[in-house]
């Protein structure tokens, strides 16, 4: 699909105005170059070209571009590295895409206060690497941390394997400089916690680029733990593995990570990266403990006991940093490894109460069998966050439709089990229709009210999150047709 919906004359004037703001090198307008920006990492769902892409280098530039969009009445949206998995950075309504990847600086690391301030385009992993020397790290670690930006993490409230113990992005963001949809710049939160007033920062984090564009972020850094222990537990069945998860949490042990991979995932991973997962296993759990040495030694004993209770086939503890890195490589490459078993897959992100994990994983398997669709499972199991990978063979007629149907049934089962539609990927474009499974119209009306307060004109990343794309006269932002611009 093509998002170029602006009248040529208006587009030309917009390009000129943006070039004046950010310089000619900061504007992308050639159609073949714009194609890069037609979707984020949700590639199968919807593609749409932005009318132009602007790459500002400062907060005032972002503000000016946003004001320009408001003046002209064109939609705009932010984009970081485009690693989002729900279509949050897909320019659904065309318009101006504001890309933050030229704002990558680490503005300051404050070791005594255990904080850092970065520009929104700073890559997640760069920050952890930059503070390592001070014995600190930045906890949220999405799988894409080598590429994804902190600003994008803020927009999506990104998680990651290590969020079981440390929490997700919202628990680590102390402040943000935000360009509000009207173009005003506001500093939400800051180095000091608990400031008076409504927690605008709290509602901004995870708002998927619909409440404004964050340009700078102040985050909390954590001291590195004294010791880390990484354990691979091997099981005959996924059921045994998931009972182990509940057993460990039920004992009051909170590992820093507890990742589950099923047989299909193990096969794919081993074919790809050879992490050393046993090929005959029904499931493995990758369990990591961190903290004071004495504590994790004691906890490791508890973890092993629970594993044995669940008829675990093997418990393997990484003895060296290399062994640990290899075990994690398998997990981190899991999604990438699915290319080995399927040409396409749909990745889901539901959350269920951790005690419901055995039941829900059983139901997912049943659903897969019923639809004749291969479903592989990886899960941030300690949080109850399941990532079923629904394999799609587009050469088989009807497979795509069956995969979609299986996907919605899985989603419904997770909600019925008391869960949530998305744990860390966000709603974006992909899951809009599922929102109503979880929230009543009255619940959603509250969210829309917030949206209308921040963005009365509805120009900031329109069409995302909410089920009906008609919000805020969405029709006038139709990606096709010259009516996309209400005011020249």
Partner 1 sequence: MIGATSALGDLRAMVGAEFLVTGEALEAYRLGGRKPQAAIVPADDVEVSKTLTRAWEEGLAVVPWGGGTHQSVGPPPSRYDLALDLGRLNRLLVHEPADMTATAQAGIRMVELQRQLAQHRQFLPLDVPLPERAMLGGVLSARSSGPLRCRYGTARDLVLGLRVAHADGTLTKSGAKVVKNATGYDVTKLYLGSHGTLGVILEATLRVYPRPDVEQGWWLAAHDLGTAQTLADRILGSSLVPNRAEMVDEDAGRACRMPGPGLVVSISGLPETVQGQRATLERMAAESGVMPAEIRDAEGTWRALSDFPWVNVGWNGGGMRALWRGGAPPADCAKAMLAIRQAAPRSVGVSAAASVAHGILRGGFLAEAPEAVAHGLRAAREVLVAIGGFLTVLDAPAPVRAQVDEWGPAPDGVGVMQRLKTAFDPKGILNPGRFVGGI
18 binds partner 1 (CB under 8 A): no
**Contact positions with partner 1 (CB under 8 A) in 71-130:** 110-114
Which residues contact residue 369 at a Cβ distance below 8 angstroms, ignoring those fewer than 6 apart? none
The angle, 0 to 180 degrees and rounded to 10, between the axes of the packed helices 263-272 and 321-332 is 110
Q: Which of 199/366 has CB closer to partner 1? A: 199
426 binds partner 1 (CB under 8 A): yes
Q: Which of 276/353 has CB closer to partner 1? A: 353
**Contact positions with partner 1 (CB under 8 A) in 45-64:** none
Q: Which of 418/482 has CB closer to partner 1? A: 418
| Part of the chain binding partner 1 (CB under 8 A), chosen from 3-11, 142-150, 392-400, 440-448 | 440-448
Give the DSSP letter of residue 303: H
Return d(Cα 480, Cα 9) in angstroms, integer: 15
Nearest CA among 335, 1, 309 for reference residue 144: 335
Return d(Cα 390, Cα 348) in angstroms, integer: 8
What Å distances lie between residue 64 and 71, 182, 315, 473, CA to CA? 10, 10, 57, 24
CA-based torsion, 445, 451, 453, 458: positive or negative: negative
3-state secondary structure 310-346: CCCCEEEECCCHHHHHHHHHHHHCHHHHHHHCCCEEE
Instruction: Single out the residue of 125, 315, 341, 444 in contact with partner 1 (rule: CB under 8 A).
Output: 444
Q: What are phi and psi of 293, to 5 degrees?
A: -55, -45
435 binds partner 1 (CB under 8 A): yes
Q: Give the shortest CB-250-to-partner 1 separation in angstroms.
A: 4
Angle (CA) 285-288-292 rounded to 5° is 155
Q: Which of 293/308 has CB closer to partner 1? A: 293
Q: Which of 42/188 has CB closer to partner 1? A: 188
Give the number of residues in contact with partner 1, rule: CB under 8 A: 92
Instruction: Single out the residue of 100, 233, 421, 485 in contact with partner 1 (rule: CB under 8 A).
Output: 421
Instruction: Single out the residue of 280, 395, 398, 440 in contact with partner 1 (rule: CB under 8 A).
Output: 440
Q: Which of 43/113 has CB closer to partner 1? A: 113
Instruction: Single out the residue of 132, 293, 340, 370 in contact with partner 1 (rule: CB under 8 A).
Output: 293
Return d(Cα 486, Cα 464) in angstroms, integer: 21
447 binds partner 1 (CB under 8 A): yes
Return d(Cα 408, Cα 405) in angstroms, integer: 5
Q: Give the shortest CB-278-to-partner 1 separation in angstroms.
A: 28
Q: Give the shortest CB-141-to-partner 1 separation in angstroms.
A: 14
Q: Give the shortest CB-270-to-partner 1 separation in angstroms.
A: 28
| Part of the chain binding partner 1 (CB under 8 A), chosen from 141-149, 367-375, 390-398, 446-454 | 446-454
3-state secondary structure 270-302: HHHCCCCCCCCCCEEEEEEEEECHHHHHHHHHH
380 binds partner 1 (CB under 8 A): yes
Q: Which of 36/191 has CB closer to partner 1? A: 191
Q: Give the shortest CB-43-to-partner 1 separation in angstroms.
A: 20
CA 1 to chain centre: 24
Q: Give the shortest CB-281-to-partner 1 separation in angstroms.
A: 25
Task: Residue 259: count other Cβ atoms within 10 Å of its Cβ.
Answer: 28
228 binds partner 1 (CB under 8 A): no
Q: Give the shortest CB-228-to-partner 1 separation in angstroms.
A: 11
**Contact positions with partner 1 (CB under 8 A) in 146-205:** 156-157, 159, 163, 167-168, 170-171, 180, 184, 186-188, 190-203, 205
Q: Which of 221/375 has CB closer to partner 1? A: 221
Task: Residue 233: count other Cβ atoms within 10 Å of its Cβ.
Answer: 28
Return d(Cα 124, Cα 444) in angstroms, integer: 31
Q: Which uninterrupted H or E stretch holds 173?
A: strand 173-179
Q: Which of 282/353 has CB closer to partner 1? A: 353
450: left (phi over 0), alpha (psi -120 to 50) or beta: alpha
Q: Give the shortest CB-178-to-partner 1 separation in angstroms.
A: 8
């Amino acid at each position: 699909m093509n998002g170029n919906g602006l009248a040529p004359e208006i587009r030309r004037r917009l390009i000129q105005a943006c070039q004046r703001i950010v310089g000619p090198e900061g504007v992308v307008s050639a159609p073949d170059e714009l194609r890069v920006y037609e979707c984020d990492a949700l590639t199968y769902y919807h593609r749409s070209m932005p009318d132009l892409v602007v790459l500002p280098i400062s907060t005032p530039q972002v503000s000016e571009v946003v004001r320009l969009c408001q003046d002209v009445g064109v939609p705009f949206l932010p984009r970081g590295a485009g690693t989002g998995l729900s279509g949050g950075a897909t320019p659904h309504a065309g318009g101006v895409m504001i890309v933050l990847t030229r704002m990558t600086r680490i503005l300051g690391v404050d070791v005594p206060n255990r904080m850092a301030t970065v520009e929104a385009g700073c890559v997640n992993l760069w920050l952890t690497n930059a503070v390592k020397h001070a014995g600190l790290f930045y906890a949220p670690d999405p799988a894409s941390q080598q590429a994804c930006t902190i600003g994008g993490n803020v927009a999506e409230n990104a998680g990651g394997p290590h969020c079981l113990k440390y929490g997700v992005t919202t628990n680590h963001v102390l402040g943000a400089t935000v360009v509000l949809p009207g173009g005003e710049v506001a500093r939400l939160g800051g180095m000091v916690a608990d400031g008076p007033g409504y927690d605008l920062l709290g509602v901004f984090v995870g708002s998927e680029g619909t409440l404004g564009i964050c340009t700078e972020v102040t985050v909390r850094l954590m001291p590195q733990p004294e010791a880390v222990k990484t354990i691979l537990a091997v099981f005959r069945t996924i059921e045994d593995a998931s009972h182990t998860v509940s057993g460990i949490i039920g004992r009051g042990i909170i590992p820093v990570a507890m990742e589950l991979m099923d047989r299909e995932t193990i096969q794919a991973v081993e074919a790809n990266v050879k992490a050393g997962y046993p090929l005959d296993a029904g499931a493995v759990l990758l369990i990591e403990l961190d903290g004071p040495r004495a504590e994790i030694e004691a906890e490791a004993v508890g973890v092993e006991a629970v594993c044995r209770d669940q008829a675990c086939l093997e418990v393997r503890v990484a003895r060296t940093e290399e062994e640990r890195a290899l075990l994690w490589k398998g997990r981190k490459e899991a999604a990438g490894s699915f290319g080995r078993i399927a040409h396409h897959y749909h990745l889901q992100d539901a959350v269920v109460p951790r005690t419901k994990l055995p039941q829900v994983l059983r139901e997912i398997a049943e659903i897969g069998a019923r639809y004749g669709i291969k479903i592989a499972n990886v899960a941030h199991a300690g949080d109850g966050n399941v990532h079923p990978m629904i394999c799609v063979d587009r050469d088989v007629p009807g497979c795509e439709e069956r995969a979609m149907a299986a996907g919605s049934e899985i989603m419904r089962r997770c909600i019925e089990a008391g869960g949530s539609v998305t744990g860390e990927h966000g709603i974006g474009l992909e899951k809009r229709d599922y929102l109503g499974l979880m929230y009543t119209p009255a619940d959603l009306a509250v969210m829309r009210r917030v949206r209308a307060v921040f963005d009365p004109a509805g120009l900031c990343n329109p069409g995302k999150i909410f089920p009906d794309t008609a919000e805020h006269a969405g029709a006038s932002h139709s990606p096709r047709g010259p009516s996309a611009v209400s005011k020249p």
